[in-house]
Structure 1
Amino acid sequence: MNATAKPQEYDTSSPLYRTVSTTPTDYWNDSCSREELVYAIRNGAVGATTNPSIVLNVLKKEFANWKKTLLDIIAAHPSEAEDKIAWHLIEAIGLEGAAMLLPIFEREKGRKGRLSMQTSPTFYRDTQALVEQAVHFDGLAPNIQVKIPVTAAGVKAFEEATYRGVTINATVSFTVPQAIAVAEAVERGLRRREQEGKPVDHLFPACTIMVGRLDDWIKIAASHDGVLLTPGVADWAGVAAFKKAYGIYQARGYRTRLLSAAYRNHLHWSQFIGGDVILTIPYEWQKLFNTSSVEVKPRMQDPVAPHIIDELYTMVPDFRRAYDEDGMRIEEFDTFGATARTLRVFCEHYHELQGIVRDVMIPNPDKKH
């Protein structure tokens, strides 16, 4: 069983539990919310993740649980600006999730049980800042995995952070070229460590493909180009890119593991069952999957129907860029539509998060408290 534990600790009847207990596939909770993580672990989850949007949502849902922590942080750092206070809070929320996952991490000898903490979205152009923050996060707890965006600067950061002994998780990633660039950068970092006699067996890197966000972008790109796709075809774009990347990873023996994220439908779970991959599933989708009638069986090796690939490939140029191994150069990653949209959302949510901190640090006198 993937999630090694006493059977009575799990909901053994749930489809997600059956997914992880009968195949090599793992799943994580796509949030660091304590309530959601409790549910996920009960259903077989072996990890969790954060990003600016996730932390913002946790605060909105559970602010009463975190207000005292935030007030204590403010009091402990009387001269720090709101952005630094915000990062102390982000780390505190993440570290609680890491503590909940630590027993799994220890039992699985580091391969599982990690909390994936994301670097600042504002650093997407700054390799040095990304590496420095990655090293800082890595030192916070033994089971921290660090998320770095797959921008041109981020690709350089993957190699250096890996070389410095950080277990990375690539994020803001949607395409086959990005996934290959990440795996190659990680391999360079691992080889540098090996050449210097440094250990690598404690490193378990992952590369996310945000399959649902690629679907979103393909629909937008088609609309921009005045292209009418067959209903449902665009919902396979992310699945197609993920399966293409998985085949390449398996053939080349990359030591990075693929991870699917950004769920929009059950294909983003059901089509990846059986792969040696990680599925980062939002709580709401976990609940839907666990009450669904979708059969739990391996489908990772099932190809996407050729007519679907042909339609997407022929009619949407950005699908070709996402699907072809050489569809984009690294220098083009930052301006790919899905990348730009996601970076903007993460930056907006990061600034909104700072606004919540500001409202506690400087209460609005025009509002009744």
Structure 2
Amino acid sequence: MSATDDLRAAGVAIWLDDLSRDDLVSRRLADLVATHGVTGVTTNPTIFATALADHPDAYAPQLAAGRAASRSACETALGLVADDVRAACDVLAPVHDASGGADGFVSIEVTPDAAHDADATLAEVRELRALVDRPNVLVKIPSTDAGVRALEEATAEGFSINMTLLFGLARYREVMAAHRRGLDRAREAGIPLAGIRSVASFFVSRVDVEVDRRLAEASGGRAHPLRGRAAVANARLAYAEFEASLEDAPWQALAAAGAHPQRPLWASLGVKDPGMRATRYVEDLVAPHVVETMPSKTLRAVEAEGRIPADGVHPGLRDARDVVDALAAAGVDLGDVAATLERAGVAAFGESWQRLLEAAEAA
């Protein structure tokens, strides 16, 4: 068996964190689905800005049509993104059908202008869902205060959502609670719960980057024994929260009415530390019902050198709690780390969207 086979056997869904028009035209995405176990795709403005810059000819006819129709850069960019996401949804439609709607999703993100406005976010969820017009699209919402409120409203209306830019346990609890409230409201409104799916995108490598920076400052630049240990510990404890959320009676009642759990999705699995194995995050966070999203580089590394355990989370939960306690003793506040990374993530989201607009204008 290959490493990707081992991941699937462990109950992990493999999603590609990458997409371009060239991937679709060349059938590279279809090949990854058919032969490499890929069952979903996540996207963001950076991915599309890179795709547009690297393959301008693939988008030339659509860009020319946008200019002829006097569309704004925003309208043009959204059209490009929606077309690629729609085409990717079509590639993954057989996966979606074969899994009974559990997998085969492609994500499209709301614009950064809506990140701190719940009403604007909800309006964009409706717009993007209609624009792509496929049952296997997930609309990505950043997990800000406004995003959490929008998640509840969107879920109550029956939309499937990918909550992104999650870094800490406190915010994750808020996301899980909002998702459940939305399901409760959808049930009361007579909306079938079976058609509502959601993932919570918990970022990994960025946590190590920020924590390791703080540890280096505290130790005067010397190597710290906790270096590179925070991100996995943080994600493992998030998974424990996920499991615990499925055990109470209110959730069991929702499940009996057809509701599906909001699956944890591990994002940012590409390692940033050159001293770390390229597949380390993928291996250490293997657990049933999770999604692991990987850029092409990480997927290739997993196929070439991955050593996939049957379970990378549960055996390490005690160690995860010890690591978090040790970080606190060393003066690292993971709550503040999460808040810092959320602010930086939203700011980077805006910058990426601006790069996409500029790439559309330049092309």
Q: TM-score, normalised by structure 2?
A: 0.85
Give the partner amino acid of 1:131: L
Question: Deviations along 1:292-312, whole A, 9 cap, x unmatched?
Answer: 052443222122536533332
Secondary structure at the counterpart of residue 302 of structure 1? helix
Q: Which residue of 2 aligns with 1:349?
A: 352
Q: Percent identity?
A: 23
Shift of 1:320: 5.0
Q: Which residue of 1 aligns with 2:121?
A: 130
Secondary structure at the counterpart of residue 317 of structure 1? coil
Q: Map 1:1-369 onto structure 2 (within 5 A).
A: 13-20=1-8, 22-33=9-20, 34=23, 37-41=29-33, 42-75=35-68, 78-139=69-130, 140-223=133-216, 230-231=223-224, 233-253=226-246, 255-263=261-269, 264=271, 265-303=278-316, 305=319, 308-319=323-334, 321=336, 336-360=339-363
Question: Deviations along 1:318-346, whole A, 9 cap, x unmatched?
Answer: 32556xxxxxxxxxx7xx21112222222
Which structure would you say has the larger RCO, counting Cα contacts within 8 Å and 6 or more residues apart? 2
Shift of 1:224: 5.3
Give the length in aligned residue pairs: 333
Question: CA distance change for structure 1 residues 232 and 276 in 2, over 3 Å: closer, same or farther?
Answer: farther
Q: Which residue of 1 aligns with 2:254?
A: none
Question: Deviations along 1:116-136, whole A, 9 cap, x unmatched?
Answer: 111112311111111111112
| CA contact 2:233–2:323 (8 Å) conserved in 1 | no
Give the partner amino acid of 2:355: E
Question: Deviations along 1:64-118, whole A, 9 cap, x unmatched?
Answer: 222223223333xx23221221111111121121111111112212111110111
| CA contact 2:96–2:102 (8 Å) conserved in 1 | yes
Shift of 1:223: 4.5
| CA contact 2:211–2:332 (8 Å) conserved in 1 | no
Shift of 1:54: 1.4
Secondary structure at the counterpart of residue 124 of structure 2? helix
Please give the alpha-carbon distance, in whole angstroms, between the structure 2 residues aligned to 1:314 and 1:63.
51
Give the partner amino acid of 1:309: V
Measured on the aligned residues, the alpha-carbon RMSD in Å equals 2.1
Give the partner amino acid of 1:146: V
| CA contact 1:30–1:282 (8 Å) conserved in 2 | yes
Secondary structure at the counterpart of residue 310 of structure 2? coil
Question: Deviations along 1:5-42, whole A, 9 cap, x unmatched?
Answer: xxxxxxxx43012211x121111001123265345312
| CA contact 2:198–2:263 (8 Å) conserved in 1 | yes
Please give the alpha-carbon distance, in whole angstroms, between the structure 2 residues aligned to 1:342 and 1:62.
26
| CA contact 1:105–1:114 (8 Å) conserved in 2 | yes
Range that drifts further, 216-225 or 163-172: 216-225
Q: Which residue of 2 aligns with 1:325?
A: none
Question: CA distance change for structure 1 residues 338 and 271 in 2, over 3 Å: closer, same or farther?
Answer: same
Range that drifts further, 29-38 or 183-192: 29-38
Question: CA distance change for structure 1 residues 292 and 245 in 2, over 3 Å: closer, same or farther?
Answer: same
Secondary structure at the counterpart of residue 172 of structure 1? strand
| CA contact 1:40–1:283 (8 Å) conserved in 2 | no
| CA contact 2:6–2:308 (8 Å) conserved in 1 | no
Shift of 1:163: 0.8
| CA contact 1:123–1:130 (8 Å) conserved in 2 | yes
Shift of 1:141: 1.4
Secondary structure at the counterpart of residue 28 of structure 1? strand
Please give the alpha-carbon distance, in whole angstroms, between the structure 1 residues aligned to 2:153 and 2:313.
32
Question: CA distance change for structure 1 residues 230 and 223 in 2, over 3 Å: closer, same or farther?
Answer: closer
Question: Deviations along 1:136-162, whole A, 9 cap, x unmatched?
Answer: 222221111011000011010000011
Please give the alpha-carbon distance, in whole angstroms, between the structure 1 residues aligned to 2:85 and 2:174.
28
Shift of 1:252: 1.8
Shift of 1:174: 0.9
Give the partner amino acid of 1:119: V
Question: CA distance change for structure 1 residues 133 and 210 in 2, over 3 Å: closer, same or farther?
Answer: same
Secondary structure at the counterpart of residue 286 of structure 1? helix
Is there any run of 5+ residues in structure 1 with no aligned partner, and where? 1-12, 323-332, 361-369
Shift of 1:220: 3.0
Q: TM-score, normalised by structure 1?
A: 0.84
Shift of 1:232: 6.7
Secondary structure at the counterpart of residue 305 of structure 2? coil
Please give the alpha-carbon distance, in whole angstroms, between the structure 1 residues aligned to 2:222 and 2:7.
32
Is there any run of 5+ residues in structure 2 with no aligned partner, and where? 252-260, 272-277
Question: CA distance change for structure 1 residues 39 and 134 in 2, over 3 Å: closer, same or farther?
Answer: same
Please give the alpha-carbon distance, in whole angstroms, between the structure 1 residues aligned to 2:143 and 2:43.
16
